[in-house]
Structure formats: structure tokens, C-alpha cells
Homo-oligomer: A and B are copies of this chain.
């Protein structure tokens, strides 16, 4: 009640901090378990994040994807190689520039992408469950605050 703006009670801090931390761990764990029990049991969470980065339609280059995921090019090469072996990803040789290889998902890869996306949609839906437009706005605002804060640190 007597909460001051920009000043947060110890209890609120504890709650929000723990929630933010726990939620993330929890999501990762569920992603892992869900994958294990699905048709895609040969895929790890790290691998699905690579599949997500490759996306459905834009044929990004290896370097682009590596930068996005903040992996070295060497690491990306090996990761792509195993996903190619498992049948989720295809390399395409760029016609213009023969040095670059572009990455794309196979049908199996696209299927997995969509399943993963659906799971995330559920998460977001549950996040704002029962809220009206105004309340959703508050959540969005909080996320923008946080993104701004984080960007400021790194500038």
C-alpha cells in the first residue's frame, strides 16, 4: 500500500527476483523434457535454439546466425553439421558469393520450429492470462523498461 514509486520492498524484490530466475530455469527444463518425450527426442534445448535462429523463411548466412547466437563460426559449423546429419537443417550454397553458405530448415526442421513456437505461445498466453488490454500494457511496459535498462548497461 504505502509503496513508493521506484522503491521496492524487500519482500517484493525477493518475490520478483526469485520468480524471474525460477521461471527461466523452469522453462528450460520443460523444453528439455517435452523434447525428450516427443518425436524430436534427438534434439537438445541448445539445438532447438539454433533451429529457432535459423527461422522458417529467411535464408541467413552462417556468420549471421553465429553472431545472433554469439557463437564463434567454428562452433556454428559443428552445430550445423550435427543438425544436418539429424535431418533438421540444410546448407545452401550462395549463387552470388561462392564463399557463403546459407542455412535453411528441412520439412522436419520446420515442423519442430512450429512445435516450439506453439509452446512459447502457450507460455506468453499463460503469462497474461485473464488480463485486459490495460494490464497487458503494463506488462509490456515492464519488459520495455527492462530491455532499456539492459541496453543502457552495454550501450
Chain B residue contacts of A24, Cβ below 8 A? 24
A138 to B140: give the CA distance in the assembly, Å.
Answer: 11
Stretch from A73-81, A83-91, A107-115, A147-155 forming part of the interface with B: A147-155
Q: Which residue of chain B is the closest to A150 with respect to CB atoms? A: B26
Interface string of A17-55 (1 = CB under 8 A from B): 101111111110110010000000000000000000000
A129 to B151: give the CA distance in the assembly, Å.
Answer: 15
User: How many residues on the A side are at the interface (Cβ–Cβ under 8 A)?
Assistant: 55
A149 to B17: give the CA distance in the assembly, Å.
Answer: 18
Stretch from A57-65, A98-106, A117-125 forming part of the interface with B: A117-125
Known interface pairs A20-B143, A142-B127; A136-B12 also in contact (CB < 8 Å)? yes
Q: Are B140 and A15 within 8 A (Cβ)?
A: yes
Q: Are A121 and B17 within 8 A (Cβ)?
A: yes
- The answer, yes or no, to whether A94 is at the interface (CB within 8 Å) is no
Q: Are A1 and B142 within 8 A (Cβ)?
A: no
Known interface pairs A12-B136, A135-B138, A153-B30; A146-B127 also in contact (CB < 8 Å)? yes
Q: Are A23 and B150 within 8 A (Cβ)?
A: yes
Chain B residue contacts of A139, Cβ below 8 A? 16, 138-139, 142
Q: Are B123 and A149 within 8 A (Cβ)?
A: yes
Q: Are A1 and B133 within 8 A (Cβ)?
A: yes
Q: What is the interface of chain A, defined by CB distance below 8 A to chain B?
A: 1, 3, 5-6, 8, 12-13, 15-17, 19-27, 29-30, 33, 70, 120-133, 135-136, 138-151, 153-154
